Structure 1
C-alpha cells in the first residue's frame, strides 16, 4: 500500500486527538454554526408565503403579492 494513503487514513481516524481551538478554527466553526443558518433562516422568513406552487396551471401567476 502507498505509505501516504496509510498516513492519511491514520490522520483521519485520529483527528480528534490532535484538534486545537485556534482563531481560525473558531471563526470557521462560528460561520458554519451561526452565520450560515441565520442567513438561510432570514431568507426563508422573507420568502414565507410569497410563492404558492400548489395547483398552479399554465399561465397562472406564481407570486401571491
Structure 2
C-alpha cells in the first residue's frame, strides 16, 4: 500500500519496563507472609467455598423442561 510504513512506532519506555518486569518476575519472587496468604486463599479457601456451594445446591433446582408458571425448586 502507499504511504509510510506503519510498523515503525517509537516504544514507550514505561511499557518496555513493564514487559521486562513481567517476563523476569519469577527471578525476583519471594515467599512472604502476604504472598503465602494469597496463595492459600486461591489454592484452598476459594475452591472449598465453590465446592461447598456446589454440594449444597446439587439437585436443588431442575431447570430442564420448565414452563411458565412451574416452580424451579424441587424441594
Task: Please tell me the TM-score bracket, short chain as reference.
Answer: over 0.9
The TM-score, its normalising length taken from structure 1, stands at 0.96
The TM-score, its normalising length taken from structure 2, stands at 0.84
Structure 2 unaligned regions, length at least 5:
1-10
Root-mean-square deviation (CA, aligned residues, Å) is 0.6
Higher helix fraction: Structure 1 or Structure 2?
A: 1
In the alignment, is residue 17 of structure 1 matched against residue 60 of structure 2? no
3-state SS of the aligned residue for 2:20? helix
Equivalent runs, 1:1-65 vs 2, <5 Å: 1-65=11-75
Highest RCO, 1 vs 2 (Cα 8 Å, sep ≥ 6): 1
Q: In 2, Cα distance between the equivalents of 1:55 and 1:17?
A: 55
Which of structures 1 and 2 has the bigger CA Rg?
2
Structure 1 ranges of 4+ moved more than 4 A: none
Structure 1 unaligned regions, length at least 5:
none
